Amino acid sequence: MKNIKNFLIPFTLTAGALLISFNTYGDSNIYHLSTQAPEYTHEKPDFAAMPVKEKKETFIKLALIGINSANNEICAERKEVKDIQKSLDKNKKINNKQEKRLNTFAEYYKVDYQNLSSEQVIQKLLIRIDTAPQSFVLAQAILESGWGTSRFATEYNNYFGLHCFEDGCGAKAEKADVYMEIFRTPGDSILGYYYRLNTGGAFEDFRQVRAKTNGKSNQVDDLLNTLSNYSELSGDEYKQRLLSVIDYNNLRQYDTPTCGNTH
């Protein structure tokens, strides 16, 4: 597989990068990562030039590296919140440092914590700080980016069809009056995707279903039912296309438990 080495770094997330990012950047860059190898940031395989089999194998391999790295970051956040919860259960209170961390998480994940108890904040955060099955994320990246060949994937690292909603906020679509988010690296795109699912008002059903189905064998199918607001396609048509991508490419083989099932 050619050019893989040059793509590994931008698809891989630096340890601790997500926590660093939302303490460092402004709202427009909250999921940007700092890479340890900036010389590779703009080098990606030319998926369009590859034979189909090679293109699929390369895309899946590289996407999984980024997805699993993002999952590790989010699971580490969830574990920190769970540890604070254990401390609260044991001591009936939390210290100032723990309270500050909870508030930081709450601000990032858009939880209005001002009039909530620590336990209430924790419960709301645990609904939001979680991941999704790899097959689910892969299928959306594949469908939205055309196996990494779309204009927005190749030029702007937007692999999930993520829109932004202010004039000039991103790259304008050629045939529609919409703007697409611009990401510095493919890894940023994965975090941006998770951030949308974990905080967006349109994905409240997704988060509730995820929490209820963690550990269940049919979780992917249940989650697909919540994506009616993700695409301009009808909910059922979008779901069926994603299911076809998952089943035809045997993507469920890559699934591991979400961090909500392990933490």
The pLDDT score that the predictor gives to residue 138 is: 98
Surface-to-core class of residue 64, CB atoms within 10 Å of its CB (0-12 exposed, 13-18 middle, 19+ buried): middle
The pLDDT score that the predictor gives to residue 185 is: 87
Three-class SS state of 245:
helix
pLDDT < 70 regions, the chain = 1-43, 235, 263
Q: Where are the domains of the chain?
A: 50-253
Please state the pTM of the whole predicted model: 0.85
Nearest to 28 by CA among 226, 188, 176: 188
The pLDDT score that the predictor gives to residue 164 is: 86
Nearest to 78 by CA among 260, 254, 249: 260
Take residue 219 and report the two structure tokens written for it: 């979780």
Helices 204-213 + 186-199 axis angle, to 10: 90
Q: Do 179 and 161 contact (CB within 8 A), yes or no? A: no
Q: For the domain made up of 50-253, give the CATH fold.
A: Lysozyme (1.10.530)
The pLDDT score that the predictor gives to residue 17 is: 37
